[in-house]
Structure 1
């Protein structure tokens, strides 16, 4: 029974690998279980006979090897080959491809050694004793060697997950940078360019009132062009910032957890002590999710954590988000990087506070606390506090370019 279960696992492993290659392969998953149940039913009936057939145990062992062991191993070898050439060759990682080829050959060898070669009572021409006399090496040693090669190849192939993770992180960081740059450009266009063009139009209209009618008429095409430029810029800004009036915080954080692939990398615990459909203004939600995104990115890239807990609670009109991991942490001598400064700036724009607690070897905890939904749109663009970087120092940083002592035209 243990031997048959092992062969079933091998068969299902091959079926799972080949299944993504197309719907015509999915039936193999059911085939393995069907063969195993058929074998198990026959075995049970034979064991309950009042006078068991001679050598029935050898017969059912031979059936397990032929029905599950040999086809399962060959299916897995074929699946690895197909998977390698169809899905991994575009990644241009020759060392991973060669290791998977070796793993496929090792599985094929194992399927022959374990599926077709057994005790002398099962297959006299292909018995273990016959092969041992021919090669001078015990068969169990050859099987172990094939298993070692297989394990080595599969462990090396796990680099695929690291490549996928790096690619996903790169895409997320690029999207975050593009969103921050778009936000900065929106502010620049709204607070500078749009106001300058609008002011130029007002100056021309004022100048028209002081000119002769015939001369004033020559400025009409210029004024119309300026009005069209203002309208075009407003349409561009509306398109860039097109979002629903309100959005769900819980949905946004769960989406970030999925995008970073946290469940596949570590144990993830979530604790939402806020209504699942609780809504926030889009501008406020965007800043909150940017802070959470940066914190989760640090957990994935630097923490080397095995467990992370993400909690959000609403109490006395204040929202607290806590992200705690059990990673390697850092000491007070660590210099804050670009991402941390960006998080602090966004927390300040939200009228909140950001606290980071960390010790070497004891993990890191990021705590964000802000007023719930009580922030006016203008507050998100207000001047920085004394001691914060001046506008020229933060040009091009995510979070935008904030003009000191500037009134925002809504």
Structure 2
């Protein structure tokens, strides 16, 4: 099994490694050292030297696994030979072999190397035990072979589990990447749809309304050329002004002019100018109460578009004689009310793009649009935009 990169082990793995380190020290080197207490001479010191080399190598490998001096696989060779040497030295090597078997699977880099090196350690332990006792079936030999067989079976099983986990992780990673791509594409499509909707609303509220005014004014001017040239001249002037305004709006939409044109005007001035143009073009009486109200640019544009759409509906559908507009500052926002005394309509049956566009524009700013009307009773449009994000 490959060792996970240093510093990236999950917390449970690090905890298990710490417990294994304690277990290895307690059940490996410590029993071997204690086993040399009743011995003396070169054999004892040779056993202690082997235990010291194996222990120091283990410590360096666990603390600094990427140390250029001590690589995992060379250390495993030293460990296997050291375990074999301990089998013929005081202290024995069977216990050290059993407790060290996981090291071969952790650091070997693959099952073949782990099986080979742990097999070398088991064979050396078995051979040393037989040579030392002149018996084939010694307790240490049987213990070493049984431990090796169990270690191989367990190691292969764990290795298979790790491979299956890595395969599942790869599949999940691929699925996650595909999902992220689909989500990004959905976001792009949603963004494109929202941008198309925004442009459609802006075109409807500006260019389309302007062109509709130009058509009506042009028809009126043509009809009055012979009977009222002065009135026709005024209507032609209105056509020119409307066309210029439409051109400015078109430049705004394509990004070649600052957004919102006329940004320096207050909301009251913008609304008053729109009402004056409407009265001049249509002859409909306008009654307005438009005090100066402090609001941001987005709110100013939204109120202006709401008024323009309301007036366009009056021009096209209401057959009204009087239009009223009232702008009111409130403690929690600003309110615009537009009324007419025209023919009215059933609000629930209205399917126009303009009303829906006004509602969406108000909703984007956290506001509300209320339309009240009935046949023969005129129409009331109430737009409320909060200044604190709540209505």
| Structure ranking higher on relative contact order (CA contacts 8 Å, 6+ apart) | 1
TM-score, length-normalised on structure 1? 0.35
Q: Which of 1 and 2 has greater Rg?
A: 2
